Amino acid sequence: MPEWMGRAACRDTDPELFFPIGTTGPAAAQIDDAKTICRSCPVAEPCRDHAHAIGTRDGIWGGLTETERANLRRRLQRARHRA
């Protein structure tokens, strides 16, 4: 386990919170709850980096949903191509 995980704000939270099924209705509230925890997390950036490094597409990592992480990846790729 990476060292930063022991400092994560979610370390004592049920992991299921970070893996909602869907994006509407109860899942939207679940996403909001997970993101609230992530906003207070001192290791949100390493968490996002870890999700990218392991190639996970599921769940909320570092305060970003699957869609938000995919958008970030695309923006970073475009920036690299322009450089």
Binding-site residues for [4Fe-4S] cluster sit at 10, 38, 41, 47
Which residues are documented as binding site? 10, 38, 41, 47
Of 24, 23, 29, 61, which Cα lies nearest the Cα of 45?
61
* C-alpha angle 42-45-51 in degrees, rounded to nearest 5: 125
Cα separation, 37 vs 10, in Å, equals 7
